[in-house]
Amino acid sequence: MRFSTLSLATLLSATISSALPTALTEFYLVTSSQADPSSNSSQLQGVSATTPFDESPISGTKLLLRLLEPGYNTLPKFNLDASTGVLSTTLTSSNVPTQWNSTTVQDNAELQFVAEPQKANIGLGGKGEYLLSVGNATDGWTICESGSGESVLWWKGTAEGCSKTYLHAVTDAPYQRKLRVR
């Protein structure tokens, strides 16, 4: 998938007009080692974009969130339903949009999305309310290596090599497009 000219233009104008989200809709999720928000997500310390992915495509029932390196073409957007505490993203496959909903986040488990209605425990907190929280705590997200070698978001992951992170809601995509130098 590639950005159409239109969606790039929309993205750029969104970047210029409002760099921090004003509503709990249509934001990107990025990880950073810093808790304080930045009006320019590229300037968050150690920032990484994120995208949902299927660790076991054969079952195809559960998505996790993984980190993305620079050079991606598209980034999925997320919404948060404050009344149910559910974080969601809509992915389109064969022209059929499916809303993937987060399940209740548990200690030492991945952030997970399923294609079913859910009740969860996700909210926003921290300075300016730009940090994703679980049960009101913004401290506890970790990045751990998955079975297939991806860097995956966990809540309070305790495995060796898990590192602490903050999950930010932002409206501008970080390090958006890497230009290839030949």
Ligand X SMILES: *[C@@H]1O[C@H](CO)[C@@H](O)[C@H](O)[C@H]1NC(C)=O
**Contact predicate 33/142, CB 8 Å:** no
Q: Please tell me what DSSP assigns to residue 108.
A: T
Q: How far is the CB of 138 from ligand X (least distance, A)?
A: 12
Which lies closer to ligand X via its Cβ, residue 5 or residue 136?
136
* # binding residues, ligand X (CB under 6 A): 14
Q: Is 97 in the site for ligand X (CB under 6 A)?
A: no
Instruction: Report d(CA 168, CA 16) in Å as an integer.
Output: 18
Q: Is 98 in the site for ligand X (CB under 6 A)?
A: yes
Instruction: Report d(CA 176, CA 174) in Å as an integer.
Output: 5
Q: How far is the CB of 32 from ligand X (least distance, A)?
A: 13
Measured on CA atoms in the order 106, 107, 109, 113, is the torsion positive or negative?
Answer: positive
**Structural tokens at position 148:** 């297939």
Which lies closer to ligand X via its Cβ, residue 53 or residue 175?
175
Q: Which of residues 7-66 bind ligand X (CB under 6 A)?
A: 15, 40, 42-43
Instruction: Report d(CA 48, CA 31) in Å as an integer.
Output: 5
Which lies closer to ligand X via its Cβ, residue 110 or residue 172?
172
Q: Which residues pair with 132 in a beta bridge?
A: 124
SS3 43: helix
Which window, 48-56, 70-78, 115-123, 148-156, contacts ligand X (CB under 6 A)? Answer: 115-123
Contact with ligand X (CB under 6 A): which of 74, 135, 148, 177? 135
Which lies closer to ligand X via its Cβ, residue 157 or residue 174?
174
For the CA atoms of 23, 80, 37, 74, what is the dihedral angle to 10 degrees? -100
Instruction: Report d(CA 120, CA 134) in Å as an integer.
Output: 9
Q: How far is the CB of 13 from ligand X (least distance, A)?
A: 11
Which lies closer to ligand X via its Cβ, residue 99 or residue 106?
99
Interface residue list for ligand X (CB under 6 A):
15, 40, 42-43, 88, 98-99, 101, 115-117, 121, 135-136
